[in-house]
Every structure is written in structure tokens, then in C-alpha cells.
Amino acid sequence: MSNLLYVGKGTPRTIEVDKVTGRAIYINDLKLPGMLYGKILYSDYAHARIKKIDASKAEVLPGVRAVLTGHNIPDVRVGFLRDQTVLKKDIVRQFRDEVAAVAAISPEIAEEALDLIEVEYEELPAVFDPIEAMKEDAPLIHEVDARGKPIRTNILPLPWKFYAGDIEQGRKNSAYTVKDTVSTTWVNQCCMGTSGCVAEFDMNNDLTFHSQTNVVFLGKQRIMEYLSSIGMRGRNVRVINPVVGGSFGTKLDTDIYEFICILLALRTRKPVKILFSREEEFRALPPRQPAVFTIEQGCDKEGRLTFRKAEAILDNGAYTSWGATTPSVMVMPMSSLYRVPNVSFEATCVYTNNIYCQAMRGYGNPQATFAVESSMDELAEEAGIDPAEFRLINRNQSGDVTPMRLKITSCGLEDCINSVKQKLNWSEKRGKRKGKGVGMGSLIHVAGGARVYKSDGHGMIVKVDQNGHIDVLDGGTDQGQGSPTIISQMVAEALGFRPEDVSLTLGDTGLCLWDAGTHASRHTFMAGNAAVRACEKVKQQILELAVENIPKVVKSGFRRKKRNDPDFVEPDLDYTLISKPEYLDIKDRMVFPKSDPEHPFFRIEVSQIIRDALHVGTGESKVVMAEAFYDPPTEMLDRELKGNLSCTYAFGTTGIEVEVDEKTGEVKILQLFAAHDVGKAINPILLKGQIYGAAYIGAGYGLTEEMKLENGRVMNPNFLDYKMLTAKDVVPVEPIVIEPGDEDGPFGAKGIGEPGLVPTAPAIANAIYDAVGVRIKSLPITPEKVLAALKEKRK
Amino acid sequence: MVDYDYKKPKSLKEVFGLLKKYGPKATLIAGGTDVMINIRNRELSPEILISLRGLSDLCYIRKNNGYHIGALTTHRMLEQSDMVRAGLSALHDAASQVGSVQIRNVATVGGNICTAAPSADTAGPLLALDATVALEGPNGRRRVPIADFFTGPSETVRKGNEVLVEFDIPEEPGHFGSAYWKHSRRKAMDLPLLGIAVGLALSESQEISNARLGLTVAAPVPIRAYKAEEFLIGKRLGDDVLVEAGKIASSEASPRDSLRGKAWYRREMIEVFVPRMAKLAAERIRGE
Ligand SMILES: Cc1cc2nc3c(=O)[nH]c(=O)nc-3n(C[C@H](O)[C@H](O)[C@H](O)COP(=O)(O)OP(=O)(O)OC[C@H]3O[C@@H](n4cnc5c(N)ncnc54)[C@H](O)[C@@H]3O)c2cc1C
């Protein structure tokens, strides 16, 4: 591994030049001939019966090409639990409910048409608190399920229950126990590019769908299922990504606006674009799933964890998207962050009239880790052990099999905790309580794929053409994380080319092989493994052609020389040096014999070999290309939520020093060290970019970000009142990259997309406690909360 | 649909002519950073925008017999002026924290005051600096102390046919210093949850010879905390005195609970920041 040429180097991003110069084609820029603009009318109520929809005025507005309501589209249910229709015609259950949609020749006309649609509502009693919603007399959000069976409760039919070991036994073995309740709230993914899509049907009713999805193949599957449910079975769908301005979870589900766009395109026979405003982005996209946790832990006299028991209540909102499945990820930190023998975790998802939720970077892990890591500090204090020491005692280690049956192959957690300790000057700084304090939190996350679908496979096609150029068709997507750069590096390394010889095509179901999606921090790991395998085949093909062709090339060279110089004497060469593929290697686009890399005659450009194999003048020309489909040897979670769903796991520790103004409650992050076991950094610059960004989002999650909902309505749908941190709110992040190497990772790498965010908020909470002795148990930790807690303590 | 006419007159006289012609259908626009947002929000739907940006002679910072700041002066100009930094520090503190550099490059101090948002960043400092607002209409100029300018949220004494042309700020005799604290959650692109401006004159013996406190987001309009000022004048600068002044100022305020912040928290912050800003003003007097 030591003589890697491109992997491990900070190669600058490749395609980003187009982005920073404004050339890149985002969905905003995409314009097709004859394209119409779609707009959506949302509900005026959190819960109401629709008495009447009158769209007649909108329909006759000049420039309007279609007006859709629940009454003139097929009555078909969509979504994870099929608990909603694309447009709602009887009952609205949240403010973001889509009631009507318009396609017009300009966005302004479409907007004007929305104003002309008259909807009469009869308000229904609503419920906005999941705990209230669980009560027997609470208003029912849904009266029937997807099959029309009556529903009698707002509790979702998704019982998330995990048990391992024996909690009672664990309790008996405990010298110390703590129990607490913590909560997290809605946060928006805040993608720089707002949501949008363009749908276009051709005259055969085949659909081309320009979508920002990060699951092109699953997206296609959902759309095909939808089309077939509306009577268009057998029509083809091609899903293509434009340049995407971030996803952070928002592009994992097929959103309602996408179905609306498809219906508008179908109705008008024209390409239709829907593009969200920032306000819609806040009001009509599913944010991160909020949760309330009650968590109890115990440890013995030596500080070894004895049990962990947690219950979570999730405000599902009015419908079900991926938010309701976040407990499947929460179970990972709950059961497997630190060694804990006895675990119980139960999560209940509850329908309310709030906005419904879905995935966001970390997918339930940040919420659960806030609970676990807050509780770890409380337990350490109860047991009288330094919290860092306490974590070290309970750290995960290579070779562990966790209660969830995760197989920990490589684990750098000990290094992570120790390096954060050292960088923070932990022992010196901790426990002073003079307004400054230190705290830490750790994480575990999937880092070698995540088998949440029955195929966790990833397909890649690699071809090398007669010009010596490599085209890679990869089933994943680039939503800004920089995969093309990293894949180029790995392909170049594996094939003996240079990164600049590699072009990437991603996110196109028409060209690429199946990929389960660019989510779960899996793209580098998956694409890397596919690349290594595909390149092995391609390299073998090139070397076989080289064995065949190098002697021909050399000899025809000699013949030429002889023609020009009759005295030329052909040197006596040892052709056995190049007689077998395994005697040859490729580096820097040159093929050469391993035994004599600088051989004056046998060192030849790959492009020449490929050209000679192609332009043969007979019926035997050849091309060089191979595909690899990599599906890691992992398993789905079973009914008990156990199973080794990832090939390897990422570990990390964030250590933070804060200063708290005891008069104002304001918290300033003085230092933030983010130590991550990344296996191997394929590109240190991009890796650190992921860590910086994740730490910033984590700091926002911890301190400032919050969607404020009042009776179901998002009250702060803009960046003035939604306090995402700015570049001026400097969080001094220093990444610490730990590279133990992972045996299953490509070049030793693990996935690192999500981890940096996960432990940031609890590390902040723990540092605040160390600084001023108050523990804030709900996110975000606002100055008001800190000041109120300080006043309470002073009483 | 958003649709309006746009005129860019070259003189005040032309402005008055247009205002007369279009009356309430016209809206004046300077930097446009409030106007354009209100148009997009549909809170405002003018038939015609009258730009003041043709009146380049309303864009200046001068000192002779006090300070004179033209209404079209941008926040960026205030931020980059050494004269403002040294002599009108509170205004400098405020102007350099408005929005972002891009906003400060176009947004004007006149626009900030005429919008009359309870959160206007420059309002507190102008109160603490005892500024006078010069309004010009077809019948001439009149001067209004800034403390009398605001009449309600988004409401001022400015008449529909008047243009704010200038701010006049007296040069304080003796040792004078000022400071402004913008209490916000972020360091950029944010409005204050609370603004506290303090102007202080000190004698050689550290006796407070004059004091003015301007508070924003503390009441429906930017206010002076007159009782706290009265309490301070004649006292020696010291922690106890400032803490007491903070308490008095807090009791003079009538902050609200809003999405952006709770009233109790705003009250507490007045108590915290009146002393802190008074100290900063004093430090500036001493040249620290
Ligand atoms: C992203 C962003 C961030 C912002 N951040 C801040 C902030 O941090 N602090 C803050 O206080 N404000 C902030 N604002 C609000 C705004 O920028 C300020 O109020 C600014 O000073 C307004 O000046 P303008 O020249 O753009 O006013 P305009 O929008 O042109 O005008 C504002 C109002 O004043 C009237 N008007 C303007 N000039 C005159 C005049 N000479 N005579 C009579 N009437 C006049 C207009 O008719 C209009 O009603 C922000 C705005 C944006 C968009």
C-alpha cells in the first residue's frame, strides 16, 4: 500500500470548476423546448375536510395548460406505507398537503393560477404532540389503512423492538445507574440547491425524468410502479441526474412533487419543470425526524456498562416516509456504541398533524447518539469516573460482535478517544467549571455499505478506448460529495493510469448498472470495491492484448528500420519477458515487463496496444471493457433487528472546548477536534471537507438549528429565522484522521459521509455541562435554555 | 404578477414631482434591500418605484460643526470610514454588522431608518448619538430628533411627500464614547434579538456627565431609556452604578415574546448589555 500513486493524495476536485464558474447545469438551468412550469397549492389547515375545490377560474387563465386536483387524477396511494395520495381530495392532514397543481407557460402564471383555485375547508380537530396523539381520545389522523381497513390508533404499525441479553440481570449487576429524558427536534437539510425535477414523456409514453434523486434505480422502480398503477404498465422510465446541489437525505424518497410533475407532463404532453422556492423547501420537504428518548444505563464498580434501556417516541407527522424507519439506524448506537451486554430499545412512531419526516445525514444516528452520549456522561459522573476514561473502559474493539450482531472488523475508537483527549489537553482542562469546559462524544456508523434493501449491490462499467481514455459508468450519484474525483483516483490507481484519464458518468438508469443508492456513507466503499474488481478485469484484458501485441509492435518497428537502414541488425530480445500477462504491469499508461520496467523496447503505451487490437483489418478486432457488480457479504436485519448489515463500521470521537457566558447563556465553541477512523483516506482534502461540513451541521444541530412549528405550521421558512451557521460563525474544526486500514475497504477505506455530524451535538452538551454544570437535554441548546437552567441551578 | 414602473430622477425636485403625481401608488427605493423583499412577499405592490440612487449628492459623511451623513450613505461606507469609527463608534459597530458585505454595499442608512423596523440596527446608535433627521418636502426642510421619528412598527413621522435627506449628529464636548451591541444568534445575515447602544460622556474624574441609551427590539419602536440615563448622569462610572442602570433600562423596556426571542430573555439581556456597552464606551474614551 505504501507505493500508491494517486490514492491517498489530495487531488483537487475535477468537475467542480464548472460549478464555481457557473457552467454546471443544475435543475434550475435545465430548459427543454416547450417546457411548462408546475406549481403546487398546499393546504391552509393542519387538519381539515375539503368540502369543495373549484379550479374553474384557474383553468381559464391564459397561459395555463393544466390544473390537477385529486378529482381529475387517478386515486392511487403512494409512499412507504401507502398512506397518502398524490393530491388530496377529501382530507388534509398537514399544512404541506398538496391539494392542487398547475402547469403553465411561465412560473408566474402558474403562481397566479394557484391564487385562483378556491378550496373550501371544514376544520377538524388536530393533534400536534405525539404523546397526546397516542391517547385514546386523540383525533385520528388516518381512519383507514392502505387496504381500507379501519385504523383505531395514531400509532404506526411499525413496532421497532430490539432486545439483547437481560436488562434485569444487567440492573442487578449495576453499581450505578442513571435515567433521563432527552429530545431532539426538526431540522431542515438546507441543501444549497432547492428541490426540483423535469418530467417528459415521448409519444410512446416513455418517460425521461430529470431527478435529483440519489437512488436512481429505486426511484425508477417507484415511478414504474406508480405508472403501472395508473394504467401505464410497461412504459419505460429513464431517470437522469442533473448536477445536484446537495441532498443530505432529501433525495432518498420519491417525493410527492415528483409524482405531481410526472402527472402534469402526462396531462400536457409537454416537458414540465417543478422547482421549489426556499420557502417550499422548508414547508414542503420532509425534515429530520424528531424524537424523545428515555434512556437508562448502568455500570458496575469498575465502570463497565451493564445495561442500556431506551424508549423513543417519534413524531411521524401526517404520513410515512423514511423518518419512520430511522429507528432501524438508531438501534445501532443504542446497541453497539460501546460494549454493553444487555440492551433494550423500543421506538414508537406516532401520526400527528405535523410535517412528516424523512432521512437526513446520519439517519437517526445523531438523535440516538445524543441520547446515548448524554447518558454516558451522566453515568460517568455518577460512578465518579472521568468521562473519557469511562469511554475507554467501554470502547468497542476489533473482533467484537455487538449485541446487534455487528461484526467489528477494524476499530480505531481507542485512538480516536485518546487523540481527542490529548489535543484538547483534557486532563488539564476538565472539571474546572469556570465558564470553560470540555466534552466529548463518539459514534459508530455503517461504513461498508448498509444492507437495507435486499441488494446492497453497486455496478460499475469501465472501458478503455483506443485513445487511452477511460470512461467509467457508475450506478451511484454525485450530490456534491466529490465521488467523481475519488473514483477517478481509485480507477487510475487500480489500472495504472492517471486520474485525469478518467471520465465519470453517474446517475443515469439508461447507462449504468444497478446501485442501491448513494446513501448510508456507502459510495466510496462500494464504488471503490467495484472499481478495484472491474479494473482487475480490464487490466487483465489489456495485459493479454499486450502479450499478443507487443511482439508485433516491436517486430514491425524493426522491419521498418530495416527498410530504411539495410545494415540494421535486429537486437536479440528475450521475448519470454513479455510472454505472459502476469509478467507485465501498467503504470502511468505504459505497459512494461515487471522484470525490466525500463526496457527499451517492451515499454509501450496502453493506447497503442488497444489501437492495434482494434484496428486489425480482419474480423477479429477487440475492445477493452469490463463491468463489476459488487455486493458485499452482509446480511439484512432480521425480525429482531439483528444482523451484520455492513461490511465494516466507522468510529469517531468529537472533542469540544466551549466557553459559556453565564450571563447570557451564549455558547462559543473554542476548539473542535473530530477524530475519525476512516480506514484509509482516499483523498485527504475531500475527506476533511466531509468532516468540516459534518461538524458544522452538527454544531448547528447542537446550538442553533430548529424548525419552529406552531400548530403544525412551519413558522421560520427562511434563512433569516432558520439559524443555519454562516461562514462567519467560525467553528474551529480540526479533523484528526486515523487510518488503521480496513481489510474489506477499497485500498483500506471506510465510508465517512455521515459520521462527523453524529457526535457533535452531545459533545457540545457535555462540554457545556463541564463548563457551567448544567445539562441541556433538548436540542438545540439555545442561550435561553442555558440561561434558564443556570438560573434554576442558582436558586 | 409583480409588475411596476421604475423611475430614476436626478434631483429632489423631480422626486417631489413624481411623488405628487403618483401619491400612494409610488414607493421610494434606495438600496432596495427592504423594498424588494416586501414586493416579493407581496406586502408591497407599488405601481411605480422612484429610485433615489440618482441623487448622488445625498451620499456623504462629513464633519463640520457636527457630523452630517447623507441619507443614501451605505452601511459599507460607514463601516469603512475612520471618522465614523473614531467619532461615532456605536454607529460603526452597527453598520458593520448589517447583513453581509453584499447587503452593506447597497443598503443605505436612510432606508434602514425609514423602514422603521423595531430591529433596525442603526436606530439604537443614532438614538444614543442624539441624531436629528432632516426631512425635505416640496415646501422645504424640517428637522426631527430621531427620538421623535418613530411612531410605531414601520411607522414614522415622515410624510408621504417627504424624503429623508440627512442625519445630523452633534459633536459632543469633552470625552465622549459610544458602543452598540447587536444581540443575535449568528455573526452574519441576522437581525438583532435586541440592540443596545450606549453613548457616554465622562469627566476627567470618571464622572458621567452625559449618557444616552438607545434600545431596539425592546419596544414596538426603538426607544431611549431616559430613566436609566437620568440615573447615570452625575454618578461615577462603576460596576454597581452600571448594573443598576441596566435594571432601570430593562424596566423601561416593553419587549415581546416572539418567534425570535422571549421577552424575559430580552429583559435580562438589557440588564447584561447596558453595563457591558457602557464599559466598552468608557474604554473607547480612554483609548483602550
Ligand atoms: C439579507 C438581508 C440582511 C439584512 N440584514 C439587516 C441587518 O442586519 N440589520 C438591519 O437593520 N437591517 C438588515 N436588513 C434590512 C435592510 O438591509 C436595511 O434596513 C437597509 O438599511 C435598508 O436600506 P435600503 O437602502 O436597502 O432601503 P430600501 O429597501 O431602498 O428602502 C427601505 C424603505 O425606506 C424608504 N426609503 C429609503 N430611503 C429613503 C429616503 N431617503 N427617504 C424616504 N424614504 C426612504 C423606502 O421607501 C422603503 O420604504 C437586511 C436585509 C436583507 C435583504
Main-chain dihedrals φ then ψ at residue A345, nearest 5 degrees: -140, 125
What rounded mean pLDDT belongs to chain A? Answer: 97
Is B110 close to ligand 1, i.e. is its CB under 6 Å away? yes
Q: Distance of CA A93 to CAs A96, A144, A151, A232, A279, Å?
A: 8, 13, 15, 29, 20
H or E segment and range at residue A764? helix A760-772
Interface contact B191-A720, CB threshold 8 A: yes
CATH, domain A377-451+637-794, list 3.10.450.50, 3.20.20.120, 3.10.450.200, 3.30.365.10: 3.30.365.10
Cell numbers that stand for B70 in this block: 447623507
B147-163 as b/e: b if 16+ CB within 10 A: bebbeeebebebeeebb
Is B161 close to ligand 1, i.e. is its CB under 6 Å away? no
A457-630 belongs to CATH 3.90.1420.10: no
* Bridge partners, A234 (sequence order): none
Q: Has this prediction a pTM greater than 0.80?
A: yes
| Residue of A779, A781, A707 whose CA lies nearest to A367 | A779
Q: Helix (H, G, I), strand (E, B), or coil: what is residue A84?
A: strand
Report which ligand 1 atom has the smallest distance to the Cα of B108.
25
For A726, the closest of B187, B259, B261 (CB atoms) is B187
Q: Is the pLDDT of residue A1 over 80?
A: no
Interface contact A721-B185, CB threshold 8 A: no
Is-contact A110 A103, C-beta < 8 A?
yes
Rounded CA gap, B37 and B42, in Å? Answer: 8
Interface contact B187-A729, CB threshold 8 A: yes
Q: In angstroms, what is the span from residue B107 Cα to ligand 1's centroid?
A: 6
Q: What is the pLDDT at residue B288?
A: 75
Is B112 close to ligand 1, i.e. is its CB under 6 Å away? yes
Q: What is the pLDDT at residue A575?
A: 96
Tens digits of per-residue pLDDT, A181-214? 999 999 999 999 999 999 999 999 999 999 999 9
Chain B contacts of A781, Cβ < 8 Å? none
Contact A716/B at CB under 8 A: yes
Rounded CA gap, A724 and A703, in Å? Answer: 10
Write down all domains in chain B, each with its CATH number in brackets.
5-51 (3.30.43.10), 57-169 (3.30.465.10), 175-285 (3.30.390.50)
Q: What is the pLDDT at residue A630?
A: 98
Tens digits of per-residue pLDDT, A139-153? 999 999 999 999 999
Task: Give the number of other Cβ atoms within 10 Å of residue B48's Cβ.
Answer: 16
Count how many pairs of residues, chain A against chain B, have C-beta atoms within 8 Å.
45
Interface contact B1-A784, CB threshold 8 A: no
pLDDT band at A3 (very low <50, low <70, confident <90, very high): confident
Q: Which residue has the cell 481527542?
A: A420
Rounded CA gap, A1 and B226, in Å? Answer: 74
pLDDT band at A299 (very low <50, low <70, confident <90, very high): very high
Q: In angstroms, what is the span from residue A727 Cα to ligand 1's centroid?
A: 23
Q: What is the pLDDT at residue A533?
A: 98
Tens digits of per-residue pLDDT, A219-262? 999 999 999 999 999 899 999 999 999 999 999 999 999 999 99
Contact A664/B at CB under 8 A: yes
Characterize the bridge pairing of strands B26-29 and B48-51: parallel
Characterize the bridge pairing of strands B132-137 and A272-275: unpaired
Residues 6 or more apart from A279 whose CB is under 8 A from it?
A717, A718
Q: Distance of CA A342 to CAs A169, A304, A309, A339, A549, Å?
A: 8, 12, 8, 9, 64
The closest residue, in CA terms, to atom 47 on ligand 1 is B28
How many residues make up chain B in this entry?
288
| Residue of A450, A430, A440 whose CA lies nearest to A648 | A450
Q: What is the pLDDT at residue A2?
A: 61
Q: Is the pLDDT of residue A433 over 90?
A: no
Q: What is the pLDDT at residue A5?
A: 96
Residue B221 C-alpha from the chain's centroid: 11
Q: Which parts of A257-341 are beta strand (E)?
A: 272-275, 291-299, 305-317
For A726, the closest of B2, B186, B265 (CB atoms) is B186
Q: What is the pLDDT at residue B174?
A: 83
Mutate-to-test residue for ligand 1 from B12, B19, B25, B29, highest number of ligand atoms within 8 A of CB: B29
Interface contact B190-A112, CB threshold 8 A: no
A760-772 helix and A365-383 helix, angle to the nearest 10 degrees: 30
Q: Helix (H, G, I), strand (E, B), or coil: what is residue B183?
A: strand
Asked whether the ipTM of the predicted complex exceeds the cut of 0.90, the reply is yes
Is B246 close to ligand 1, i.e. is its CB under 6 Å away? no
Contact B42/A at CB under 8 A: no
The superfamily CATH assigns to domain A31-125+195-275 is Aldehyde oxidase/xanthine dehydrogenase, a/b hammerhead (3.90.1170.50)
Is-contact A373 A180, C-beta < 8 A?
no
| Residue of A81, A57, A59 whose CA lies nearest to A68 | A59
Interface contact A108-B189, CB threshold 8 A: no
Q: Distance of CA A4 to CAs A469, A493, A794, B243, Å?
A: 21, 7, 59, 65
Across B64-89, average pLDDT: 98
Amino acid A11 reads T
Q: Where are the domains of chain A?
A: 31-125+195-275, 377-451+637-794, 457-630
CATH fold match for the domains A377-451+637-794 and A457-630: yes
Contact A721/B at CB under 8 A: yes
